[in-house]
Amino acid sequence: MAVTSQRINEYANSMFRFERLNDAWIDSCVHYLEEVFGDAIAGATVVDYAFGRGNWSLAFLRAGAAKVVAVEASEDMVRRFSDYCRDHDVQDVEIIHGDVLAQPLDVSADIIWLYGILHHVPDADSFLDGICRLGRPDSLFLIYAYKAPSLRQFVVESVREVLTYPTADAFLADSYLFARAARLRARNDLSAPHPAWYTASALRELLARHDLRPVSAARDFQEFVRGRPPEEFRPHHWLCRLGGEPVELADHPEPTQDLAVLRDFVRVGWDRLADSPEQQKKAGIGLFNSHFSAVPADNGSGPVLVEDFLYLAYLLLSLDVPPDQLEGPTRALYELAIAALSGDQGDQVPAGLEESHIAQHVLRNRIRL
C-alpha cells in the first residue's frame, strides 16, 4: 500500500518538530562519513535521499563533496532545510521536493546515501528500481535497513499492535506520557507509516534483484560515537555497488530464546486487554518506557531484556494471569519470577532456558515488581 505525501509529511513533522542543526553534531557526521567513504567523497556528487533534518547533506559538503542533491518527500522538511541553507549561505546543495516512486529524478551521482528510509517504504522493489537509476557503474550506495530479528524489533512491533500515531499532533498530545528516551523513539517508530525489518539474507535477496552487491559493512553511527556496537539495535549498514561479486557480510546473533518468551508475554497481555483499547495503549506506552529508559550508555542489551521482562511479568500478574495459561519455557520463566519475589527461586536453570539471560538474572536476584 502506497504512503501518501500527506502521511509522509505528518511523520516528518513528528520526527523533526524540535530538531535543530548544530556544528558539533554535523562535525561528528563528517568524521563518520570520512570513515565510511574515505577519499571517495572528495569532489563527488552525492544524493542524500530522504534528507530529513539535512545534517548528512551538510556533512557531505564539509567532508569535501563537490555537490549534494538533497531529496525529500516531505514538503515541510524541504521548506525548513531551504530556509536553513539560505540563512546560513550554504552553497553547492540542490534541494528537491521529490519521490522516486512518484516521478523519476534526473540525477547522476557518485554516492547515493540511503540512511533511514528503505525500511519505511512498502514497495521496496519499485523504490530501489528508481534509486538505482541515480547511480553509475562505479557509484557507491550506502544501504541502511532495520535488522530482523532484534530486541528493538520486538518492542516496536509489539507496541505498534496497540498504538500508532497517524499525525504529528496525535503524537504531540501523548508525548508527555513518554520518558525522554522513549519519546525520541516513539516519535519515529510509532509514527512511521511503515516500518519493515530485514534479515541479512532477505536484504541480500532484495538488493540482488536490482543488481546491488554488498562490498563492505560500515559501523553504526552510534557505535562510531560511543565506541561500542548497539546490541539492542544493530541495523544493517552496507556499502554496495551495481554489479560485480557480492561480499558475504556477517550477521549478528540475537537472544532468540528470551525474545520468544517476551513475545509470549505480550501476546497474553494484549489478549487480556483486548476489550479495552485504552488499557492496551497504556500498557504499550509502559513497555516503551521500560525498554528505552533501560538502554545503557554502553549500548548493551542485557539490562533492556531484564527490564522488558520485569515490566511484562508485572503486567501479567496485575491481570491475574496464572502460570498454567502459559507453556514451556515461558511458563517456567514466569514461575521463576513469581518465586523470586520472595527469594524462593532456587539455583537451577529451568529446562529450555539454558541460554536465557533473563533466567540467569532472576536466579541471582530477588526481584521487585
Residue 333 has pLDDT above 70, yes or no: yes
Same domain, 306 and 211: no
If one counts every other C-beta atom within 10 angstroms of the C-beta of residue 28, the result is 15
Same domain, 214 and 304: no
**Residue 341 belongs to domain spanning:** 256-364
Same domain, 32 and 73: yes
Same domain, 299 and 231: no
Same domain, 123 and 238: yes
Same domain, 47 and 115: yes
What letter would DSSP give residue 155?
H
pLDDT in tens, 113-122: 999 999 999 9
Same domain, 229 and 313: no
Please give the helix or strand (H or E) that residue 262 lies within, else none.
Answer: helix 256-272
Q: Is residue 306 part of a domain?
A: yes
Same domain, 345 and 303: yes
Sequence-ordered list of residues with C-beta below 8 angstroms from that of 337, at least 6 positions apart, any chain: 309, 310, 313, 362, 367
Lowest mean pLDDT among 67-81, 166-180, 289-303: 289-303
Full-model pTM? 0.94
Same domain, 211 and 304: no
Beta strand ranges found along 115-250 (DSSP E): 140-145, 212-217, 236-242
Distance CA 113, CA 46 (A): 7
How many residues are there in the chain?
Answer: 369
Same domain, 287 and 220: no
Please give the helix or strand (H or E) that residue 113 lies within, else none.
Answer: strand 111-114
pLDDT in tens, 205-247: 999 999 999 999 999 998 898 888 778 888 999 999 999 888 8
Task: Name the phi and psi angles at 137, rounded to 5.
Answer: -55, -30
- Using pLDDT thresholds of 50, 70 and 90, give the confidence band for residue 127: very high
Q: Is residue 187 part of a domain?
A: no
Distance CA 205, CA 208 (A): 5
- Using pLDDT thresholds of 50, 70 and 90, give the confidence band for residue 299: low
pLDDT in tens, 246-287: 888 877 778 888 999 999 999 999 999 999 999 999 999 999
